[in-house]
Amino acid sequence: MKSIISTQPTPLETLTPDAYRHLEHATSLKGLLKPFKGKGELEYLAQVARETEAQLCRLMEAVALRAGQPPFSLLDIRLVLQNTSAGSTFLRWRTRDFARMGVAVWERQASNKALPQTVREALHRFECERIALNLQMSVMHSLYRQASTCAIKMASAERLLRQSTPAAEISR
């Protein structure tokens, strides 16, 4: 393996704060921790969560693309995007032949003493980025689902109130 993989340090930029700069809504929960006055605010929160998911997906794509470059493309491991049936995307480790998937695939490569230390350290950074991005995607997708569900429930409650309130009282 040493003949294939260079022992020279691998230039690898981790995800920097600049990579996250466009995710301004994701860094603050102040918009979440307030009284919601109606379904419109919840729909807006769901929209922001969905937009943030798309931005996180672009970051995931960038990480997967970097992990697909040499010297990592020479390894028996791939970092791939996996779309779920729930509608979100996660980064997963897979073998080159797609026979196995999961952290065990990464552990096998990262613990391979035949690989240069720089490559193992880079694999470690990829794994840390994968873990963090998957967490962030999971939180955003859950926030989207919850906000969407709550907006529907709030709209239903508003409809029920309008239906049960006499017209004369509504016009006041």
**For the segment 1-19, what is each residue's pLDDT rounded down to a tens digit?**
444 444 444 445 556 666 6
Query: What predicted TM-score, i.e. pTM, was given to this entire model?
Result: 0.80
In the chain, where are the structural domains located?
A: 37-165
- Phi, psi of 136, rounded to the nearest 5 degrees: -60, -40
39-67 and 117-164 helices, crossing angle to 10°: 160
Any idea what DSSP says for residue 89? E
pLDDT tens by residue, 117-149: 999 999 999 999 999 999 999 999 999 999 999
Q: CA nearest 77: which of 91, 87, 89, 90?
A: 91
Cβ contact 151:42 at 8 Å = yes
